[in-house]
Amino acid sequence: MKILEGSFQCEANTFCRQRAKREDFELFEGEELLKKMAATPVFREAGAQVVPLIYASALPSGMVSREAFEYYKKIFTELIEKNRDADGIYLYLHGSMYVDGLGSGEEYLIKAIRKIVGDKLPISVALDYHANLSDGFLQNVNAVQGFRTAPHVDHDDTERRAARSLLKCIRNQSCPSLAYIRVPYLGGDAATTEKEPFLSITKYLESLDKEEEMISCAFFNGQPWYDSSYTGNCAVISGLNVQKSREAALRLAKMFWDGRENLKLNHALPVDQAVEESLKNQEGVLFVTDSGDNTTAGANGEGTLLLRKYLERNQENVLICGILDADTVNGFLDQEPGTEKEIVLCRGQAGKQEIETKLSVVLKKKGIVYGWAGDEVGEGVLAGCGNTDIVLTNARAAFTTPKHFKKMGIDPDKYRVIVIKMGYLFPRLREISDRFIFAMTPGISSNDFAQIEYQRLKKKMYPIDQTITWEDILEENQIEEEVHL
């Protein structure tokens, strides 16, 4: 048994002006790839020969440039062409890669693969919980598994489930079609999985995992800062019994729809109130998440709105963490601590989030910007402006773990308020503090979806349009009458 294995990932925020270029992707090949992917041991334990394709992964960004996509797609297809005798293909993708001028990167990658291998070779895919899945993608794969946690802590488990799904297809000599039901809903940071309806959805998915006829089962929240006609939630089932698969997908969709009102943002406050409440904190660290400039959702991370708000108050023990300004940082790298400079952030900008901001700062220290995959992606400086400290970086960054602060030489416990470019609080940050305020800042990752300038989104999406009914969803999915659930 021969299985091909690879990964190609970049979550796209289509409202971000930046593009993910070829050099923005980390590339792993050969044995390095096989060690990185959690599916590898599952295949090897089953006696399979595992052939590495490539592992190309980039930080959430704007759209992927066409040149970068075509470059990595070509590597994939050339390697697959050389291994046409494979028994199956396993891919670890994101699900919300949007390619500039093209659309769904996942769809076009899968279609390019299908041109080589035909429709009789099973393809199983592991995806992020925030995947937006086009019809063209779903109609060309045979098994789909997705993260069941947000914040995400089950990456490896999802890979292993997707690997087992592929093995099941091979053993049954089956290439099943997917049953899927779309739900017109924009979830954003409110849709975390430690509450209903996701507790019930996960329990149901786990029960489906045990059914012999079931190949794969998943429910996706979608990513709302991705402007497409297929953005939104989706229940996806693959099974040997087509009717049961359809019924299971419909039941998942109904469970979500009936419980959607439980999904509220925790600790969310308007901007000025968030600032004022945070400054009342006198004990331990309190995080403030700048949700409208969330780099983990593909935003630029250049926004100065909250920086300006805190500078106006000039209160001690405040850290504004991770503003991107490469020119400013690079200009500090050959300077010694204590150097004073006049700087301008967001030069020439006058937006809701990115506002030209002139500052007089003093360099306190220099450090390393830590990436998502445990790598060093750039450099940063800690600068002081009055009583406020600011971390500036020359690479887009997300301070998601204690190690990110350590690499910058920062002790977070010295501060009472730490502003981070994030939406919901990432799990590892709870090692520092589990207290946070979700600041409802504007920007291209705003959770106020009505203020986002969509062009391709369906006209009726909840919660922008709250008149949508379950009957509307049945009609959209071309279900004439509801089966017994």
Looking at the fold, whether 150 and 297 belong to one and the same domain comes out as no
Same domain, 155 and 90: yes
Specify if 322 maps to a domain.
yes
Q: Please indicate, yes or no, whether residues 240 and 321 belong to a single structural domain of this protein.
A: no
Same domain, 256 and 318: no
Using DSSP's 3-state secondary structure scheme, residue 172 falls into: coil
Q: Is 159 helix (H, G, I), strand (E, B) or coil?
A: helix
Q: 191 and 114 share a domain?
A: yes
Confidence of residue 375 (pLDDT cuts 50, 70, 90): confident
Q: For the chain, what percentages of helix, strand and coil (3-state, to nearest 5) are there?
A: 30, 25, 40
Is residue 309 domain-resident? yes
Clarify whether residues 126 and 29 are in a common domain: yes
Residues 252, 279 share a domain: no
**Running DSSP on this structure, what letter comes out for residue 456?**
S
Residue 151, domain member (yes or no) = yes
- Taking the C-alpha atoms of residue 416 and residue 439, their distance in angstroms, rounded to an integer, is 16
Of 290, 310, 371, 366, nearest to 335 by C-alpha is 366
Domains: count for the chain: 2
CA–CA gap between residue 180 and residue 357 (Å, rounded): 48
Q: How far apart are CA 103 and CA 96, in angstroms?
A: 10
Q: Could you tell me the two tokens for 430?
A: 């709870």
**Helix, strand counts (H, E) of the chain:** 13, 20
The token pair at 23 is: 């050099």
Q: Are 25 and 112 in contact (CB under 8 A)?
A: no
Query: Does 475 fall in a domain?
Result: no
Cβ(352)–Cβ(443) below 8 Å: yes
Domain endpoint, select from 262, 281, 314: 262
Cα 350 to chain centroid, rounded: 28
Q: What is the DSSP letter of 454?
A: -
Report pLDDT digits (tens) over 119-132. Answer: 999 999 999 999 99
Predicted pLDDT of residue 479: 87
DSSP category for residue 226: S
Among 233, 262, 291, residue at a domain's last position: 262
312 lies in some domain = yes
Q: How far lies 110's CA from each of 23, 95, 106, 194, 330, in Å?
A: 23, 12, 6, 32, 40
DSSP track, 116-134: HH-SSS-EEEEE-TT----
C-alpha distances (whole Å) from 142 to each of 88, 239, 444, 465 are 10, 9, 34, 33
What residues does 321 pair with on adjacent strands? 391, 420
Confidence tier at 484 by pLDDT (50, 70, 90): very low
Selection from 65, 238, 36, 233 nearest residue 150 by Cα: 233
DSSP 38-61: THHHHHHHTT-EEEEEEEEE--SB
Q: Which helix (H) or strand (E) holds 71?
A: helix 66-81
Domain span at residue 347 reads: 268-446
| Whether residue 223 is found in the same domain as residue 82 | yes
Place of tokens 């066409």: 66
Cα 352 to Cα 46, 91, 305, 311, distances in angstroms? 54, 39, 7, 17
Q: What is the mean pLDDT of residues 4-29?
A: 96
Last residue of a domain, one of 262, 294, 313: 262
64 shares its domain with 132: yes
pLDDT digits (tens, 9 = 90+) for 469-483: 999 999 999 986 555
Nearest Cα to Cα of residue 377 among 408, 347, 343, 402: 408
- Residue 460 included in any domain: no
Q: Which tokens hold the place of 137?
A: 């993608």
What would the pLDDT profile of 195-227 be if each residue is shown by its tens digit? 999 999 999 999 999 999 999 999 999 999 999
On average, the pLDDT of the chain sits at 96
Whether 63 maps to a domain, the answer reads yes
Domain identity same for 273 and 358 = yes
| Residues 343 and 317 occupy one common structural domain | yes
Task: Please measure the distance between the N-terminal and C-terminal CA atoms of the chain and give it in whole angstroms.
Answer: 39
Does residue 485 have a pLDDT over 70?
no
In a domain, 142, yes or no: yes
pLDDT on residue 481: 58
**pLDDT 10s digits, 136-168:** 999 999 999 999 999 999 999 999 999 999 999
Asked if 218 and 337 sit in the same domain, the reply is no
